[in-house]
Amino acid sequence: MAGRFAPWRVFAAVPQQVRRLAIVVAVLVAALIVARALLVPPTFGDRGHYRAASVDSIEKLPIRYAGHEACAMCHPQVVERKASSFHRGVACEVCHGPAVQHTTNPIEVKPPAPRDRAFCPRCHAFNAARPTGFPQIDTTQHNPGVPCFACHNPHDPTPSHPPESCAACHGMIFRTEAVSPHAPLPCTECHTADPRHKEAPRQWLPTKPVDREFCGGCHAAGAPAPASLPASLRIPRVDLATHGERYVCWQCHYPHYPEAN
Amino acid sequence: MADEIPATGSASARPGGGIPRRVFLGACAAVAAPALLTAARQDGGAAQGAADATAAPRYDPRVHNYGMGVDVNKCIGCGRCAAACKEENDVPRDPHYCRTWIERYVIKTDGECEVDSPNGGIDGFPEPVAEGDVMRAFFVPKLCNHCANAPCVQVCPVGATFSTEDGVVLVDESYCIGCRYCIQACPYGARFLHPVSKTAQKCTFCYHRVVRGLVPACVEVCPTGARIFGEVQRPSSPLTRFRRFNALQVLKPQLNTEPRVYYANLDGQVR
């Protein structure tokens, strides 16, 4: 009974050409299996269509930046000083560079403390693309030749005296206004700033004009010219009742550059 | 020996002197004891392993899903992020390639848009914006968007670039064949061919730092907090707070790449 279904008998029963084809297919399948075993790396497909071992090797790469938590373990006084300063969000390694070697060998490896006057302007030099209110200086005018840390402790950079001009932080507005017809007007003509604004700028915001009548103080028909302006200056006058009555002035005119309408 | 055994068991009662029960049980014990002892030792070893695991939990990628937030309004263009990335990841300085870089957009009053990125911004932007008819100007940090539906992963012919279980797109450097297909496919220009190893490279979200519980180097050194790193889905994460309080945009949303880098206050001119 069992002999009738023996594989060799079945094999002998099929036509010769099919047998040859079967042998070729079997050889191809075997070659595929062998080639796959040789070519596909060991951990490929364990976690997805990739070599799982490569993730492990990437995980083991060395770190260079230790992180500010590591610094805080040994330098709590600096961290405490910095925590209440404008530089509270600036991690130690921003200025001192990657310091993981210092954490493992604190005596021999000392991270650099930049004292070069060129260092701080990397963040604080005036650049029109920087956000408004970010403290920026003109390096050629701001105490040239004096190293920054002579006046500013980098861990608590509040200056020894508050900024004298609004341009220290509002450089873009200052420069725009300087070439506009409003150049003779001081900032305080339109804005009233609490003195504390210079030390806590976001807690003590300066005022801004709120109505048309404020601009009308100079620009309404028949309004008097401010004493701070030269008498020869021609001030454009409009009739507030008919000129753009649906809008407040700065919806069309940029007050720091008022031609731009 | 057989005579001393009481004739109560059926085995000893077998005629012809079959294996006595005591001998049989002794032999069984002799065979089974080493196996049992080995099993017990293995159990103890497993318990020891479990104790080690609780002492230092192994990083489990399945419980994470990372993403990054970028607040364009906070970027001051200092380039510390791009420089730190080069330090942390040994990115070549010459020829100049970047895993992350800063672009400066200057939009003129006539609507013309100029973009520059000297050296990827690693030295900041020493050249000031040409003043005059500038309408607005701003910096945009760029990096790999770690797309959930990443074109680079789709086109890699050998499976050398892939999305991990925690949502980071990585490159298997020892398996990459350097065909540059992924560099062509990336719509964000975030990839380059390493000039020495001749393999594709890109931002890894500093995967080697993230698995150690640190943030990526660019996030660590960003002085204004313009970059936020965290988990996409976890309710308590800096990124979740960032996504809650900002109107967000991603780069090239029309490509359906589903980036995991979210931009706040992004200008429409940015591509």
A98·B87 Cβ contact <8 A: yes
Cis peptide before A15, with omega less than 30 degrees from 0?
no
Of B78, B159, B217, the CB nearest to A65: B217
Residues in CB range of A173: below 8 A, 6 or more apart: A132, A166, A256
Of B78, B84, B106, the CB nearest to A65: B84
Same domain, A199 and A173: no
Q: Could you tell me if residue A118 is inside a domain? A: no
Which chain A residues touch B207 with a CB distance below 8 Å?
55, 58-59, 61
User: Phi and psi for B68 in degrees, rounded to 5?
Assistant: -135, 145
**Minimum Cα–Cα distance from B170: chain A residue:** A55
Mark out chain A residues that contact chain B at CB-CB < 8 A: 41, 44, 47-51, 54-55, 57-65, 67-68, 87, 89-91, 93-94, 97-98, 122-123, 125-131, 134, 175, 260
Three-state DSSP state, B104: strand
Which sign, positive or negative, has the C-alpha torsion B8, B9, B14, B18? Answer: negative
Q: Could you tell me if residue A7 is inside a domain? A: yes
In the numeric block, which tokens belong to residue B113?
């848009």
Q: Could you tell me if residue A184 is inside a domain? A: no
Of A94, A125, A129, the CB nearest to B106: A129
Q: Could you tell me if residue A152 is inside a domain? A: yes
User: Tokens 């890894």, residue?
Assistant: B204
Q: Could you tell me which CATH class the domain B65-264 is placed in?
A: alpha beta
Q: Could you tell me if residue A85 is inside a domain? A: yes
A98·B225 Cβ contact <8 A: no
d(CA A206, CA A203): 10
A65·B214 Cβ contact <8 A: yes
Same domain, A70 and A55: no
* Domain end marker among A141, A158, A178: A178
ipTM greater than cut 0.90: no
Alpha-carbon distance A90 to nearest alpha carbon in chain B (angstroms) = 4
CB pairs under 8 A between A and B: 124
Same domain, A132 and A171: yes
Alpha-carbon distance A163 to nearest alpha carbon in chain B (angstroms) = 20
pTM score: 0.78
Alpha-carbon distance A250 to nearest alpha carbon in chain B (angstroms) = 15
In the numeric block, which tokens belong to residue B219?
């996030």
Per-residue pLDDT of chain A (261 residues; tens, 9 = 90+): 455 677 788 778 888 899 999 999 999 999 999 999 999 999 999 999 999 999 999 999 999 999 999 999 999 999 999 999 999 999 999 999 999 999 999 999 999 999 989 899 999 998 989 998 888 888 888 888 889 998 899 999 987 777 778 887 888 888 888 888 888 888 998 999 998 888 888 889 999 998 999 999 989 988 888 777 777 778 888 998 888 878 888 888 889 988 754
A63·B124 Cβ contact <8 A: no
Q: Could you tell me if residue A183 is inside a domain? A: no
In the numeric block, which tokens belong to residue B213?
């519980």
Alpha-carbon distance B18 to nearest alpha carbon in chain A (angstroms) = 38
Structural domain count, chain A: 4
Range of the domain at A100: 65-113
Residues A100-127 as b/e (b if ≥16 CB within 10 A, e otherwise) read: bebeeeeeeeebeeeeebebbbbbbbbb
